[in-house]
Amino acid sequence: MCGTCAGCSYKCKTVTPEILETLGLIQNRGQDSVGLATTDSRYPGVPTRHWKEPGSAHKWFNRETGGPLVQKLLRELRGNIGIGHVRYATASLRDGKNAQPHYFDFGGKKIILVSNGDIPFCERERRRLKGKGYPFASRCDAEVIAKLLGDYLWVYDGSEESAFIHMGQTLQAAYSLSAITPSKRLFVMRDPHGFRPYWWTENKDGFHVCSESAVIAGFGKPYEVEPGTLMTVEPSGKIEVHRFAEELIRRCLMEYYYFARPDSLFDNNSNELIDGIRFQLGVELAREIARAGYPTPEVVIPVPYSGNSAAEGCAAELRKLFRTAILKDRFSERVFQQDEMARSQLVKRRFSVNPGPLVHKKTGIGKVVVIVDDSIVRGD
């Protein structure tokens, strides 16, 4: 699970400030590493530049200590096309080598990309490409995608569009990716299953794409990148959509009850927010409680913060009081993205309990409480 974003300015302005800001707004999707890349289509000889490091966007770009780095990136990574990535490691180490973006460089011509997803047979593909002589700098599946694209583009002398389409038609994988190509265009692509979310919008100033619709809603109405399609975006404002496979929707359920921001959209058709989905899950939970004959609760409390919407739905259906009794430090790191020892320590530091809503004031007797947690990943 990761978060990606990209932008293309139609007025030849630098997109680096927007990329940096967006990376800070999608930290819910990953805090193991952060990276970005930019290019300037006005200067063909200027190379695509990138920066990436382990650690969260907040760690590197915060107002207190990140000022010098931010100013350096704004100077050195100026460009009217940019991509960005925040990572939560699922298949390789949390280090700088596995941070994204990843690229394929051939004679100074570079495909560089960021991706959110997984390749089920990643090791098999990596071994096959290594057998053809391609070196690998990481264990990240995004580098496998970059090498596959480069192999087809230069070895088989295909066009940029055909390289992406060939990859989409032959690689069985989940990906929502953005790439900067040697022609200095922005390519946006989503697998046929639409496993991970991807949203785009545009206005008179440019094109924006992001894993969270809520983040780009300020630029214009968000639309889903349709599963099984490739979008090519030029700085002139020309956008082309290429369908390379039919939709076969297999969405990741974790997006709806945990990963995604509550103010992001569910899909293109329903105009339903993730918050509404979680609220309805809470309603269904209340009905299950009633059917099972459990004791009638006096109060419903959430495990913050992704449990809030479901707890509200549960309390509304049960017609019981909704209160906040578990308190959470907003400024500490995400617990489930740490190792076992760190998680146990973080839980103790990060959570506390306000006993007020949980006991009867006059008698001091504890109430019957339903605790709603829709974010149990590791059972901390």
Domain assignment present for residue 266? The answer is no
pLDDT for residue 208 is more than 90: yes
Instruction: Note whether 220 and 299 are same-domain residues.
Output: no
* Of 50, 55, 16, 59, nearest in space to 34 by CA: 55
Q: Could you read off the pLDDT of 267-318 as tens digits, one per residue?
A: 887 778 999 999 999 999 999 999 999 998 999 999 888 889 999 999 999 9
Q: Could you read off the pLDDT of 144-200 as tens digits, one per residue?
A: 999 999 999 887 777 999 999 999 999 999 999 999 999 999 999 999 999 999 999
Instruction: Note whether 109 and 45 are same-domain residues.
Output: yes
Find the angle CA(180)-CA(181)-CA(183) to the nearest 5 degrees: 125
Whichever domain contains 8, its CATH number is 3.60.20.10
pLDDT of residue 104: 93
Tally the C-alpha atoms within 13 A of residue 283's C-alpha that lie toward its C-beta. 8
Instruction: Note whether 142 and 199 are same-domain residues.
Output: yes
DSSP structure string for 290-337:
HHHTPPPPSEEEE-TTTTHHHHHHHHHHHT-EE---EEE-TTSPPGGG
Instruction: Note whether 229 and 278 are same-domain residues.
Output: no
Instruction: Note whether 181 and 106 are same-domain residues.
Output: yes
pLDDT for residue 80 is more than 80: yes
Instruction: Note whether 26 and 101 are same-domain residues.
Output: yes
pTM over 0.75: yes
Instruction: Note whether 278 and 205 are same-domain residues.
Output: no
Dihedral of the CA atoms 52, 54, 56, 58 (nearest 10)?
A: -70
Q: Which domain holds residue 30?
A: 2-259
Instruction: Note whether 208 and 236 are same-domain residues.
Output: yes
d(CA 113, CA 105): 12
What is the number of domains present in the chain? 2
Single residue among 226, 259, 292 that ends a domain in this structure? 259
Q: Could you read off the pLDDT of 91-138 as tens digits, one per residue?
A: 666 667 889 999 998 877 899 999 999 999 899 999 999 999 999 999
pLDDT of residue 103: 94
Domain assignment present for residue 10? The answer is yes
**What are the counts of helices (DSSP H) followed by strands (DSSP E) for the chain?**
11, 18
| 51 touches 89 (CB < 8 A) | no
